[in-house]
Structure 1
Amino acid sequence: MKQRSYRSFTARILVFTVLGLTSCRSSEELKSEQYFVTGQQLYMTHCANCHQMEGKGMSNLYPPIVGSATISDKARLARIIQHGMSDTIIVNGKKFSRPMPPNPKLTEIEIAEIVSFVTMKWGKDSVYTPIEFVHKALAVSGAD
């Protein structure tokens, strides 16, 4: 009985500790984490087949995201995700000519989440990309 009481007490302490730690985080931190996690799931569904799970691309077929200058231009990245890309690009000294198909069914929030994941994982961002930013970026017509 004593051991059961101890386990119950320990479980309660753990729950209160977790609640206390998460409640101390700002809404921006929580939103960044949410965008990152959801963006990662969307990336796995829509992007990883070609760009691979770790963003390294596929040899000479599909370009890596890691080390690409595109991830430093979030507006361009958002437009490429939605509209695709047919131009030849050079990433890390390698030429890639295969077209990237458009993703017209992705919503602006989903694009914001993918951009957030990519730029937080492999870029220099530490915060999420707001949907308002993506909305403005997509208002510029066509792909880059």
Structure 2
Amino acid sequence: MKKLLTSLSIVFLISSCGSSSSEIKSASSDQMNSRDKIRLKQYKVEGSKIYTAYCANCHQQDGKGLAAVFPPLAGADYLMEDLKRAACIIKNGQADEIVVNGETYNQMMPGNPITNLEIAEVLTYITNEWGNEAGLTSVKDIDKWLQKCE
């Protein structure tokens, strides 16, 4: 009888541990989502400052650009269809003619002397502002994308 009670206790203990483990896994997933949400907010705040310092003179504070001279970022198909390309342009600049929302632009954009973290922040900001919705751009993404810039 003692052995039976001991065995049942062990089985109960093991099964209890198993369910705790799955609860821990889902708590970790929820925490990860919370961390990403917090990071998204932080990146947008910091990205806004970087945008004001480096980008707003040409693309304007409202992201609408300047007539036929500087392209908009607000609702810009060119921006939203290829974030890797956008990261490369932020870092290295752009001298080629581009078409944004059906309009042709050929003004040169200089590269910016900012870190990969700052690129992630400003790209997160501009791709989640003015009706754009792309979510968080991580520093890992930026590191990977910048290695492949053409």
Quickly name the TM-score band, shorter chain normalised.
0.7 to 0.9
Greater relative contact order structure (CA < 8 Å, 6+ sep): 1
Off by >6 Å, runs of 4+ in structure 1? none
The offset of 1:86, in angstroms, is: 0.6
Structure 2: gaps spanning 5 or more residues: 1-32
> How big is each residue's C-alpha offset from its partner over 1:69-100, in whole Å with a ceiling of 9 and x where there is no partner?
23221111100100110111122222111111
1:28 counterpart residue number = 36
In the alignment, what sits opposite 1:19? Answer: none
Partner of 1:8: none
Answering whether residue 107 of structure 2 is matched by residue 98 of structure 1, we say yes
* 2:120 equivalent to 1:108: no
Q: Tell me the equivalent position of 1:124.
A: 133
Structure 2 distance, partners of 1:139, 1:69, is 24
Counterpart CA distance in 2 for 1:141 and 1:36 is: 24
TM-score by length of 2: 0.73
Q: Write the distance in 2 (CA, Å) between the matches of 1:38 and 1:141.
A: 24
Match of 1:74 in 2: 83
Q: Deviations over 1:50-73 (max 9, x none)?
A: 000111001111111123223221
1:5 corresponds to which residue? Answer: none
Deviation readout 1:78-130 (Å, 9 max, x if unpaired): 00100110111122222111111111x210000000110011114222x3211
Native 8 Å contact 2:85 2:149 kept in 1: no
Corresponding residue to 2:69 among 51, 61, 69: 61
The answer to whether the 8 Å contact 1:36/1:128 transfers is: no
**CA–CA distance in structure 1, aligned partners of residues 114 and 95 of structure 2:** 19
- C-alpha RMSD over aligned residues: 1.4
Q: Out of 59, 62, 83, which is 2:92 matched to?
A: 83
Structure 1, unaligned stretches of length 5 or more?
Answer: 1-24
2: distance between equivalents of 1:134 and 1:45? 20
Q: Give the secondary structure class of the aligned counterpart of 1:71.
A: helix
Larger radius of gyration: 2
Q: TM-score, normalised by structure 1?
A: 0.76
- Report if aligned partners of 1:70, 1:76 keep a CA contact under 8 Å in 2: no
